[in-house]
């Protein structure tokens, strides 16, 4: 490797990449609030995150929902996103299998 590539690997993530990750976590949190409660119960989420998702389901004010989604995004920083993605993928596969069996 060149000296430039070594220095580039030692740098912390850029502000843009951190913002992209934060927005992605917030979007995933919004997706979790649209899921049924029994679907989110089996996911590897913290108790605080379960509570925040339940609160978002209860809210009707657009401004309050926006603040709650930001809070959910903040809480999502503390969880293992790879494990959550794997659990969501497994749920989707199970739903697709059940749908195929019903045909």
Residue at 68 is within a domain: yes
Average of per-residue pLDDT values in the chain: 89
Residue at 71 is within a domain: yes
Q: How confident is the model at residue 44 (pLDDT cuts 50, 70, 90)?
A: very high
Look at residue 30 in the predicted model and tell me its pLDDT: 93
Which domain does 87 fall in, by range?
19-102
Say how many domains are in the chain. Answer: 1
pLDDT digits (tens, 9 = 90+) for 45-89: 999 999 999 999 999 999 999 999 999 999 998 899 889 989 999
Q: Which residue has the tokens 């919004």?
A: 30
Contacts with 87 (C-beta within 8 Å, 6 or more apart), sequence order: 42, 43, 44
């Amino acid at each position: 490797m060149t000296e430039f590539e070594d220095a580039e690997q030692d740098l912390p993530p850029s502000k843009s990449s951190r913002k992209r990750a934060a927005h992605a976590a917030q979007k995933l949190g919004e997706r979790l609030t649209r899921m049924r409660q029994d679907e989110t119960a089996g996911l590897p989420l913290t108790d605080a995150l379960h509570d925040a998702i339940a609160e978002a389901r209860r809210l009707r004010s657009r401004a309050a929902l926006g603040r709650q989604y930001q809070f959910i995004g903040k809480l999502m920083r503390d969880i293992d996103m790879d494990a959550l993605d794997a659990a969501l993928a497994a749920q989707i596969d199970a739903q697709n299998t059940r749908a195929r069996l019903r045909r």
